[in-house]
Amino acid sequence: MRIKVFTDKKTRAKCKIFQMLKTHAGKKHLSFHTPGHKSGAWDITELSFSDNLASPHGCIAEAERDIAELLGAKKSFILTDGSTSGVLSILYVAKLSGVKKVAVCVHSHKSVFNGCAALGLTPVVFTAREANFCPAKTEPKDFLNALENADALFLTSPDYYGNIPDLKAIRALCDREKKLLLVDGAHGGHLHFDKTLYAGAYADLWVDGVHKSLPALTQGAVVSARTEETAEALLSAVGIFRTTSPSYPVMASVEYAVKYPRNHALETAVKEYADATERVFIKEDYTKLCAIFGKHAAEAEKALEADGIFAEFCDGNTIMFYLSPATDLKAFSLLKKRLDAALKKYPYESVKRIPAPLVLFREGETERIETEKAIGRICAENCGIFPPCTPLIFVGEEVTAEKIALLKKANNVFGVYENKIRVFKEEKRE
C-alpha cells in the first residue's frame, strides 16, 4: 500500500513530527509496544523519542507552536479524530464559559447537534436561505432572532458548498452583543492563506478540518483558541474529546498540511473555469466546485465515475467536486473535460427543492423501523446524506416519501442502519 501524502520536499523539511519519524525510521527498532502490527516505524506510539500529544514537550510541541503561529491562534491543538472532536471541544469550552444556548444554522454538521445534545446545550436553530439551488451564504438577518435568544453563535465557514459569511461584520456584531463566536471550519483549513476569509481571523474558537481541504491524512484536524483564557479551557476540552492513541502519521500529516504552500495557479484556473462555464460555480471558496444537474444529478455522477472522476457528493441536484492546493493541474484539466461532456449529455431539468424545516426537537419513546414504514411518522434521530452530513430529516420532523426517496438514492447516508430509521412510538403528530 502506498499513500502519496508527504510529497513536497520543501514542506517536509519544515515539519518537526515528520523529521522525528524519518530520523527514527532508519534505526534498528524491534517493537514490543503498540500498535500490534509491530512494524516499528512511522506508525508508532508514545516512546522515549516521539513526544506525546497529550502533554507535548518536543517535536509535537514545536509543531503545535508553528501551527498556531500560521493560523494566528493563541494556541492550536492537533486532532487525529477529525473535526468532530474539535466541534465537541469548542462546545465544551462554551459550556464552561457559561453558555447555555447556542444559535446554530439548520445546515450545521451532525456533530454540532450531537455535541449540544451530549453537553446539555440548547441549539437555537435558524433556517438557511437558498441561492443557486444550494444553501446561501449566512447573513446576520438570518440569525439575529436566534442570537437574541442564545449566548453564543456557532457558524460553519466555509460550508460544504463554499459559502463564507461576512465574518468581519459578524465578529463586530458578536462583540456588540457580547456573545462568543464559534466557527466550524471543517472545510476551511486552506483559508489561512487569506485572512479575509479565514475563520481564525475572527472567531473566539474554531476548528480547521485540514484533512478535507489540505493534504493531510483522513481525520487530521486542528482546533484553536484566540485568547489565553479560552486556550486554557480548550486544553481541558481536548483532554476529554481526543483519543489517547493519536496516530503519528496523522499528526505528522496535519503539520505538513498546514505548512503546505498555497496553489495560486490552481485557484486562478478554477475561478476562470467557473466564470466561463454555465451551470458550474464556486462561491467564496475555490476548493468547492459545484455543477448543477437537477434531476439528472445521480445519473451524471455515475457517468463521471465510470470515467474515473469521483466527486465529493451529489445532493440530488448538485454535484460537488472537492479540490485542495494539492490538486494537480493536469487532474483539474481532465475534470474540466469530463465535466463539460457530462454537462452537455445531461441537460438541466429542475428538481423540486425540499426546504429545510424549522427544527422541532422533542422527546419520547422511540423505535427503529423500516424507512418505507416510517413515512408519516415523526423522526427521532437526525438522518441525512453522507456527506454533507447535515440532517435531511430532523428529530421532531414528519418523515415524508420525498425525503425517504432522496435517502434511498444517495450513495451513503447517516442515521439509517439496515434500511431502518428511528421514529417516535406514537403514530402521528396531533
The nearest distance, CB 10 to ligand PLP, in angstroms, is 27
Task: Say how far residue 43 (Cα) sits from the centre of its chain.
Answer: 25
For 281-317, b/e burial (b = at least 16 CB within 10 A) is bbbbbbbbbbbbbbbbbbebbebbeeeebebbbbbbb
What DSSP designation does 284 have?
A: S
Q: How far apart are CA 405 and CA 407, in angstroms?
A: 5
Out of 71, 121, 221, 393, point to the residue binding ligand PLP (CB under 6 A): 221
Lookup: cell for 74? 493563541
**C-beta separation of 393 from 379 below 8 A:** yes
The nearest distance, CB 328 to ligand PLP, in angstroms, is 23
Nearer residue to ligand PLP within complex by CB, 357 or 388: 388
The nearest distance, CB 325 to ligand PLP, in angstroms, is 18
Single out the residue of 85, 82, 91, 78 nearest to residue 222, CA to CA. 78
| H or E segment and range at residue 131 | strand 130-131
Nearer residue to ligand PLP within complex by CB, 62 or 159: 159
287 touching ligand PLP, by CB under 6 A: no
**C-beta separation of 390 from 362 below 8 A:** no
87 touching ligand PLP, by CB under 6 A: yes
The nearest distance, CB 207 to ligand PLP, in angstroms, is 7
Closest residue to ligand PLP: CB criterion:
82
x/- mask, ligand PLP, residues 100-139, rule CB under 6 A, reads ---------x-x----------------------------
Out of 82, 123, 162, 246, point to the residue binding ligand PLP (CB under 6 A): 82
Binding positions for ligand PLP, 381-400, rule CB under 6 A: 387-389
Q: Give the end-to-end CA distance of the chain in Å, rounded to a whole number.
A: 56
The nearest distance, CB 210 to ligand PLP, in angstroms, is 9
Binding site for ligand PLP (CB under 6 A): 82-84, 87, 109, 111, 156, 160, 184, 186-187, 209, 221, 387-389
